[in-house]
Chains A and B, each alone.
Chain A
């Protein structure tokens, strides 16, 4: 029997047909918590308009990697660049706290699994969205309200409830408020951490559909973390598989799901009901 490496048996060629450089590039990212390497030497590239899925079981480091990409945490090592006018070529991990916050607000939208992390539950929903605009200096009440409304409509939020606080909304609606807030400043990068986990299956389908439509219409680059392979199959072009903080396999979504190469990925895919 011929020996087969853990990954694919041969390397793939570098890209030749893509017109633009990667929108997001993170190289050699390592994040340590005490003695545990939560993320270890991770390399990630995402091209403009692409949807990258990150899968792996709890504790694999996938959410940590996403928080690093959202500049919420600092890694021990690594370089992170976004190909966006104004920040191109800068290592975002090396920026000071204020500059990082600025990049995060202007260019990155984030949706958390837990709406408590992303929303003020007792503010109005429209206020939650408008807050993003306020940070950038918009002060006119009418403009704030119109823009918040537009953003809520784009995420298919039932607009007659825009002045209700998220506290009284259903899980699906809360995720739509988070999405509207994330998109309020029209970022080029959207990061999603288990955005539909915990929602009813039918509500989950609707939220996924909204995401798919927004991605196509606005050509947003998306990184989505999920342990649900169905969600990943529906949304992603390419998939990264993580285990114990390491990336064990990268490939086209249907290839990862139909012809996984790595031993762990084979287990993961076959464990799906």
Chain B
């Protein structure tokens, strides 16, 4: 089933104090089906992260459409009401960044369980699932009750991934999730992504080392620098 249809998507930034407009990408078209894995490629500054952020609505796209087929009906992510986007973020669309946003005095376990609690799950099952996730990503059990603010980069990233992948989202946006992961954790991430894909979760991701996920990729969206030529290629 078609989950996302991106048509003529465009992002420009207008910096008021410079009186300048900065183009990021334009005329972007692609579609995503359930269970499909899209790799977004392009050099630094080509707008890969901006594309994911426009779909998550951390950025407002300046043109085009992104029709998303929600359980609740079809909706254009570019101009849907903020409250509708908030619902989709709780229930259907997940965003995994390279960084954990730890809060002081909140344990790793609580942070990981939080998305399930936000989606209305009971405390015990949420904690149980959080333990499974942390153990799958190989975070030492001694650290589960500790505060991630003091963790190393790799440990934080394990918590981050466990938290981001715990809820059964339908569309996952991944912004270089393998950065600062050790090889064991990379392996469990790949296993988890394959499992999600099999379950029909659509994934749009940016990977620094795409060879790791080569076997999962169904489609590539290649972004080019918006200089004179505004072409982009979808393979």
Contact = CB atoms under 8 A, between A and B. Distances in A.
Interface string A5-42: 00011111111111000000000000000000000000
Given A209-B106, A266-B17, A13 B81 contact: yes
A258 interface: yes
A4 interface: yes
Contact of A4 (B14, B85, B103): B14
Contact of A259 (B13, B70, B81, B83): B13
Contact of A12 (B16, B81, B103): B81
A12 B82 contact: yes
A181 interface: no
B151 interface: no
B72 interface: yes
Interface string B75-108: 1100111111111100000000000000111100
A209 B53 contact: no
Contacts of B80: 12-13, 16
A8 B60 contact: yes
A16 B59 CA distance: 21
A261 interface: yes
Given A11-B79, A252-B82, A254-B58, A17 B13 contact: no
A237 B82 CA distance: 9
B46 interface: no
Chain A interface mostly helix, strand, loop or mixed?
loop
Contact of A216 (B21, B57, B70, B117): B117
B75 to A, nearest CB: 7
A144 to B, nearest CB: 30
A234 B75 CA distance: 27
B21 A16 contact: no
Contacts of B1: none
B62 A263 contact: no
Given A209-B103, A263-B16, A13 B79 contact: yes
A84 B16 CA distance: 42
Nearest to B106: A209
A232 to B, nearest CB: 14
Contacts of A258: 53, 58-59
A24 B83 CA distance: 14
Given A9-B62, A11-B79, A15-B81, A216 B118 contact: yes
Contact of A17 (B14, B72, B76): B72
Given A12-B80, A12-B81, A17-B75, 20 more contacts: A13-B81, A13-B84, A17-B70, A17-B87, A18-B81, A18-B83, A205-B103, A209-B103, A216-B117, A234-B103, A237-B86, A238-B86, A250-B82, A252-B57, A255-B58, A255-B82, A258-B53, A259-B58, A259-B59, A267-B16
Interface of B: 13-17, 21, 53, 57-60, 62-63, 70, 72-73, 75-76, 79-88, 103-106, 117-118
Query: What 10 pairs across the A-B complex have the smallest Cβ distances?
Result: A263-B16, A205-B104, A15-B81, A259-B59, A17-B84, A254-B58, A17-B72, A4-B14, A15-B83, A17-B87
23 contacts: A10-B79, A12-B79, A12-B81, A13-B79, A15-B81, A16-B75, A16-B80, A16-B81, A17-B70, A17-B83, A18-B81, A18-B84, A18-B87, A50-B83, A238-B82, A238-B86, A251-B60, A251-B82, A252-B58, A252-B86, A258-B53, A261-B14, A267-B17
